[in-house]
Copies of this chain bind each other. A is one copy, B any other.
Amino acid sequence: MSTPEQAGTNQTGQPNKNSVAVKFQKWWGWGDEAAKPYAVADKPKFPTFAMENLGVDILSKELETPSFDDLDVPASQLRDDLRAKLVEVIGEQYVATDDEVRVIHAFGKGVRDLVRVRRGQLDRIPDVVVYPADEAQVRAVMDAVLEADAVVIPYGGGSNIVAALEPEKGEQRQVVTVNMGRMGKVLEIDEHSCLARIEAGALGPDMEEQLNKQGWTLGHFPDSFMWSTVGGWIATRSTGSQSDKYGDIADMTRGVRMIMPAAPGSAERTDVLVLHPLPSYSSGPSVREMVLGSEGRLGIITEAWMQVHKLAEVREIQAYFYPTYEDGLRAAEAIAHSDAEPMMLRVSDAAETQFSMANGKKSSKVSHYMNQAVQRVMLAKGWNLDEICISFVGFEGSATHVRYTKSVVSKIVKANGGLGVGKGPGTLFDQKKYDIPYIRDFLLNIGIPADVSETATPWSQAEEIHTKTVAAAEKAFAETGHRGFIMCHVSHSYHAGACQYFTFAVADGSETSMDTYDHVKRAVQQSFIDCGGTVSHHHGVGEEHSPWIDQDISPAGVHMQRKLFEGVDPGRNLNPGKIVHDGRPGVSSNSSDA
């Protein structure tokens, strides 16, 4: 990355993405340009898997890297007075109207986002991207935005997949995106209280590196970890893969600061919400919990006091197999209700288990996840190898604690017909856990849009929501006339229930692929709601899920959210149209077969 000192400008002399010491993803896909793409040549079994499940010969397909020059980028509508104000408060170098920068900030990284940007469907993109250095600059930017009656959209790592980063369709006002990338420091650590004060723009790896150096970890590892930030996690109510031990972001966020519009009658245009760090409190409806999940609708989060943990003495991930997903679910429920407290409890269904085994690097008769001896044991038990399900259980803590917890888990696995296969597969899983988006991008390149949707239910509905959602997706695939594939895993466990995380793909590379995708996506989301699940467990609402929000939290709940948004942001200047739609049809609800 360039530093400001090395900074270049583009041909017009305007700041571009190399002008600031901020990390960017590429405009057309996940990760930065240096990231290695998914290497299908290394995965000898994947072409067969893709042919069997999607009917696509992935090796015959030509991969193209999209060319930025093909895009017709709408001109910035930033007016001179607002530009002058922004330059005054933040410096010329950090006020970018460069086309590539604006396109990068136009969307998140959902499959719909990638399709739109690659096709040049740049309906309404930000007019300017600013990079504040500190809270005072964030406040000055919001002052300027409110004074100009513009729109402000906060931007962290850019990995949002629920259309929470884009301006509303038809937005007539100027749109200012605030990239928080320069605010990435761990500012202080309160060792007694296990609290770290962290700037909102800190990207996952950079933050963990700063914490780890001092012996600490946040313990928050969402799949987006490489390209998401503390502020983004808070704004979307994120949950990481180790939440069974460390909690979700709502549990971790103990104090927070946010720039927001001031109360009417105030001498200032903006105010700073200051929630000092507290382990718990009883001070009316939780303002902290209003900030969590607010997706930019209430303000811009500048920093937070996060609960951190000492790096664990022992960390290991054990793998188990079950003869069926139902056995795995039953075991997961029992583990969640036991005294054991693993840091991760993951059970893949049969389809996802097959997918994982097909993604093995080395060519061998059996997957790297399972050796021949294990396979013989399974066959001897009468298991159907097409139905087996892999489970990963993570353990962290003192050696004694890990030993104790493992023994509790091991008994439950056995009681539910499971089979332990040791640490090998878990180690591999751990190494590859952030690679899925690259497979997604590869599939999109060859005409197979793939996406993820997750939900949470009480344990009593866990099996049903899986069965019905898979059936709903299969029906939707059939209705579109395209081959499709859906797989799922239990990703997070709680005393009262679990999150199940679905991944689905449709073999439609045509111009109308998003209609096909929408048809399936809608079937999946509606199945969640119909089975008592939530619209989203940890990806958030944005515009993408807002059509279902009233079925999730009931119209009265939406009314409460709406009144909060209207009250705090009467001018609709703060990322309008997200979460609550205000009657305007959303991206996902206004597609052709809605």
A376 in the interface, Cβ–Cβ < 8 Å?
no
* A530-579 CB contacts (< 8 Å) to partner B: 532-541, 545, 549, 552-557, 559-564, 566-568, 579
Q: Is the Cβ of B283 less than 8 Å from the Cβ of A552?
A: yes
Other than A195-B460, A285-B297, give 12 A-B pairs with Cβ distance below 8 A: A192-B459, A237-B282, A279-B495, A279-B497, A280-B456, A282-B536, A283-B293, A284-B580, A285-B292, A286-B286, A290-B564, A563-B567
Is the CB–CB distance between A192 and B460 below 8 Å?
yes
Q: How far is the CA of A116 from the CA of B449 in the complex (A)?
A: 69
Q: Within the assembled complex, what's the spacing in Å between the Cα atoms of A26 and B123?
A: 68
Q: Decide if A436 is an interface residue (CB 8 Å cutoff).
A: no
Q: Flag whether A275 is at the interface (Cβ < 8 A).
A: yes
Q: Identify A560's interface contact among B195, B250, B273, B554, CB under 8 A.
A: B273
B458 touches A283 (CB 8 A): no
Interface pair A284/B279, CB less than 8 Å apart: no
Show 14 A/B contacts (Cβ-Cβ < 8 Å), sorted by A: A193-B461, A250-B286, A276-B532, A277-B458, A278-B497, A279-B494, A280-B537, A284-B541, A285-B579, A286-B290, A339-B398, A339-B401, A562-B567, A564-B564
A456 engages B275 (CB within 8 Å)? no
**Contacts A277-B458, A278-B456; A283 near B567 (Cβ below 8 A):** no
Q: Could you say which of B283, B337, B458 contacts A279, with CB atoms under 8 Å apart? A: B458
The answer to whether the Cβ of A387 comes within 8 Å of any Cβ in the partner chain is no
In the complex, the answer to whether B534 meets A283 with C-beta atoms within 8 Å is yes
Q: Residue of B at shortest CB range from A272? A: B556
Candidates B263, B297, B564; contact of A567 at CB < 8 Å? B564
Q: Chain B: which residue is nearest A238 at the CB level?
A: B282
Q: Which of B275, B287, B400, B559 contacts A271 (CB under 8 A)?
A: B559
Q: For the complex, is A419 an interface residue (Cβ under 8 Å from B)?
A: no
Q: Which of B289, B339, B404, B536 contacts A289 (CB 8 A)?
A: B289
Partner of A291, one of B276, B283, B285: B285
Q: Is A194 an interface residue (CB 8 A)?
A: yes
Copy total for this chain: 2
Contacts of A552 in B (CB 8 A): 281, 283
> Which residue of B283, B294, B497, B563 is within 8 Å of A284 (Cβ)?
B294
Q: How far is the CA of A301 from the CA of B276 in the complex (A)?
A: 29
Chain B neighbourhood of A238, CB < 8 A: 282
Q: Whose C-beta in chain B lies nearest to the C-beta of A310?
A: B337
Q: Is the CB of B285 within 8 A of A298?
A: yes
Name the contact of A458 in the complex, choosing from B193, B397, B559 (C-beta under 8 A).
B193
Fill in one digit per residue for A378-392: 1 if any B CB lies within 8 Å of its CB, else 0.
Answer: 000000000000000
Q: What's the Cα separation between A238 and B280 when bound, in Å?
A: 11
CA distance A254 to B534 in the complex (A): 12
A492 within 8 A of B: yes
Q: Determine whether the beta carbon of B555 is less than 8 Å from that of A271.
A: yes
| A567 contacts across to B, CB distance below 8 A | 560, 562-564, 566-567
Cβ contacts under 8 Å, A250 to chain B: 286
Whether A295 sits at the interface, judged by CB under 8 Å, is yes
| Known A285-B290, A333-B192; contact A492-B280, beta-carbon cutoff 8 A | yes
A494-B195 Cα distance, complex, nearest whole Å: 12
> Which single member of B239, B275, B286, B333 contacts A280 (CB below 8 Å)?
B239
Bound form: Cα–Cα A263–B566 in Å: 13
Interface presence of A457 (CB below 8 A): yes
CB A522 to nearest CB in B, in angstroms, measures 17
Is A236 an interface residue when CB atoms closer than 8 A count as contact?
Answer: yes
List the 8 closest A-B pairs by CB distance, nearest first.
A563-B567, A193-B458, A289-B289, A279-B494, A279-B497, A339-B401, A273-B556, A192-B460
